[in-house]
């Protein structure tokens, strides 16, 4: 059987003609070729008609287009190979008139820019396809050649080497565009790049604006939640203050009832019938400030002492708050370090102590309620180690925290 292809002995590639073998040798420096009875594959895509000369080409075509059906027409296209370099006779359509129509000229492969050709081959394009793209795109740039390939990908002869008349071969390298056209093309590309950049900047600005709006909404929501929590906290404080006022009024009422019963007992009158008692709220309000209230527990005594301190110095809230914080510091130091005498002993004539606590009526009384006692002729306040009562210190700390944080403390 006659040979239908040339096989490269170095890499095993099958080539259709001597011309393809020469191109392969130039590209790879392979020189060992022999005739083969194995034909080059001709797999034609049933969807677009593109021919593929190997299984690799068909796989790449499937990956690019999604077409999977191919018809094997290898036997139809297989012809005995000619070992002569093909020369095609063709009439020049532009320069030959009707009288010279029988004159044949040699057809050759057009020359293209080798650097552009190497770039296209490095991108994965076959030599024939890259040469055809450069030739028909004006041999100007890689971008123009790639655009031409995309537009003519489905052409049946896209993988065939282009042929031109021998006398026009030198003209193939000349750009098809005039200098004025090149300038216009460059200006057009710059304008296109500028518009693209402007569109990208506008898009980024829209994204940034969306991000600013999102952050603004999050900040507003966080502020709303903070305000809501603050409102709830104030409501809770007011509720606690109302409960405290209610307990104070109830104690006053009980005290009035006890005093009234004591007076009736001293006068020898029988106890008053509870069903007939109709206490009047206004009377209680009038006598509230006149009747002494003596808390029954240590915590109540401390609260009353702090309330008295605030009432006695109501014109200077900053001084009152500083006194409360100083007392809290003394109590906290003892609670944290009960074995340290320096925290359990206070010099009364210390200027800082006098400015913050000693000069305020009720400050020393509060410390005495917490367990401190005067020693050495009233020069010092001392809380003996054996008399340190953590329950009393905790109660003192709780009352001081309430006095500092409750804006309605001591209103009554």
DSSP string, 247-278: HHHHHHHHHHHHHHHHHHHHTTPPPPPGGG--
User: 67-89 in b/e burial notation, b at 16+ Cβ within 10 A?
Assistant: eeebeeebeeebeebeeeeeeee
Q: How far apart are CA 308 and CA 25, in angstroms?
A: 110
Looking at residue 209, its pLDDT comes to 94
Give start-end residues of each CATH 1.10.8.10 domain in the chain.
Answer: 89-173
CA proximity to 150, closest of 217, 65, 71: 65
Looking at residue 239, its pLDDT comes to 92
Q: How far apart are CA 128 and CA 386, in angstroms?
A: 105
| Contact of 94 with 168, CB cutoff 8 Å | no
Tokens of 20: 């393809």
Looking at residue 329, its pLDDT comes to 93
89-173 carries CATH number 1.10.10.10: no
Tokens of 102: 């029988």
- What is the CATH number that goes with domain 298-405? 1.20.58.2190
Give start-end residues of each CATH 1.20.58.2190 domain in the chain.
Answer: 298-405
Sheet containing 373-375: which strands, arranged edge to edge? 345-347, 380-382, 373-375
CA proximity to 370, closest of 339, 332, 407: 332
Task: Please give the DSSP secondary-structure letter assigned to residue 109.
Answer: P
Q: What is the CA radius of gyration of the chain?
A: 53
| Contact of 145 with 201, CB cutoff 8 Å | no
Q: How far apart are CA 342 and CA 219, in angstroms?
A: 48
Q: Furthest-apart CA pair in the chain: how many Å?
A: 160
| Contact of 310 with 409, CB cutoff 8 Å | yes
Contacts of 374 (CB under 8 A, 6+ apart): 348, 368, 380, 381, 382
Length of the chain: 412
Looking at residue 100, its pLDDT comes to 46
User: What angle, 0 to 180 degrees and rounded to 10, lies between the N-to-C axes of helices 114-122 and 127-136?
Assistant: 130
Tokens of 257: 């009832």
Q: How far apart are CA 233 and CA 408, in angstroms?
A: 13
Looking at residue 141, its pLDDT comes to 84
- Show the DSSP H helices in 80-141 as ranges: 114-122, 127-136
pTM summary value = 0.31
Contacts of 27 (CB under 8 A, 6+ apart): 121, 127
- Block residue for tokens 């001081």: 400
Residue 360: other Cβ atoms inside 10 A: 24
Question: 28-60, pLDDT tens digit by residue?
Answer: 777 777 877 777 788 888 888 888 877 877 888
Looking at residue 205, its pLDDT comes to 93
pLDDT tens for each residue of the chain, 412 residues long: 456 777 888 887 877 777 888 887 877 777 777 877 777 788 888 888 888 877 877 888 888 888 888 888 877 766 776 665 444 433 444 444 444 444 445 778 888 888 888 888 888 888 888 898 888 888 888 888 888 888 888 888 888 888 877 665 544 444 445 667 767 877 887 888 889 899 999 999 999 999 999 999 999 999 999 999 999 999 999 999 999 999 999 999 999 989 888 888 888 778 776 665 455 545 445 444 454 544 458 888 888 888 888 888 888 888 888 998 999 999 999 999 999 888 888 988 888 888 888 888 888 888 888 889 988 888 898 989 888 888 888 988 988 888 888 877 766 5
């Amino acid at each position: 059987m006659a040979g239908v292809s040339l096989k490269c002995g170095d890499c095993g590639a099958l080539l259709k003609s001597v011309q393809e073998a020469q191109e392969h040798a130039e590209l790879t420096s392979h020189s060992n070729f022999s005739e083969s009875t194995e034909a080059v594959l001709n797999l034609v895509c049933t969807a677009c008609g593109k021919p593929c000369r190997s299984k690799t080409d068909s796989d790449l075509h499937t990956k690019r287009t999604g077409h999977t059906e191919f018809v094997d027409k290898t036997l139809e296209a297989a012809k005995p190979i000619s070992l002569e370099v093909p020369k095609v006779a063709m009439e020049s359509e532009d320069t030959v008139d009707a009288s010279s129509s029988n004159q044949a000229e040699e057809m050759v492969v057009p020359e293209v820019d080798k650097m552009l050709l190497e770039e296209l081959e490095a991108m994965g394009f076959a030599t024939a396809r890259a040469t055809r793209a450069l030739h028909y795109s004006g041999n100007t740039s890689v971008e123009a050649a790639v655009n031409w390939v995309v537009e003519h990908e489905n052409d049946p002869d896209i993988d065939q080497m282009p042929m031109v008349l021998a006398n026009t071969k030198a003209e193939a390298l000349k750009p098809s565009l005039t200098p004025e056209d090149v300038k216009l093309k460059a200006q057009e590309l710059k304008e296109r790049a500028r518009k693209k950049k402007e569109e990208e900047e506008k898009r980024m600005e829209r994204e940034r604006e969306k991000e600013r709006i999102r952050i603004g909404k999050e900040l507003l929501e966080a502020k709303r939640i903070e305000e809501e929590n603050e409102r709830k906290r104030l409501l809770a404080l007011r509720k606690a203050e109302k409960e405290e006022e209610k307990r104070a009024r109830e104690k006053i009422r009980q005290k009035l009832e006890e005093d009234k019963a004591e007076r009736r007992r001293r006068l020898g009158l029988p106890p008053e019938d509870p069903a007939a008692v109709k206490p009047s709220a206004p009377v209680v309000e009038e006598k509230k400030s006149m009747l002494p209230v003596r808390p029954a527990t240590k915590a109540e005594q401390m609260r009353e002492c702090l309330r008295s301190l605030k009432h006695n110095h109501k014109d200077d809230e900053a001084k009152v708050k500083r006194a409360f914080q100083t007392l809290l510091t003394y109590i906290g130091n003892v609670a944290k370090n009960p074995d340290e005498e320096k925290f359990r002993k206070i010099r009364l004539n210390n200027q800082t102590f006098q400015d913050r606590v000693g000069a305020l009526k009720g400050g020393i009384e509060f410390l005495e309620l917490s367990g401190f006692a005067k020693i050495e002729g009233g020069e010092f306040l001392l809380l003996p180690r054996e008399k340190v009562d953590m329950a009393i210190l905790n109660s003192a700390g709780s009352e001081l925290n309430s006095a500092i944080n409750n804006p309605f403390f001591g209103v009554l």
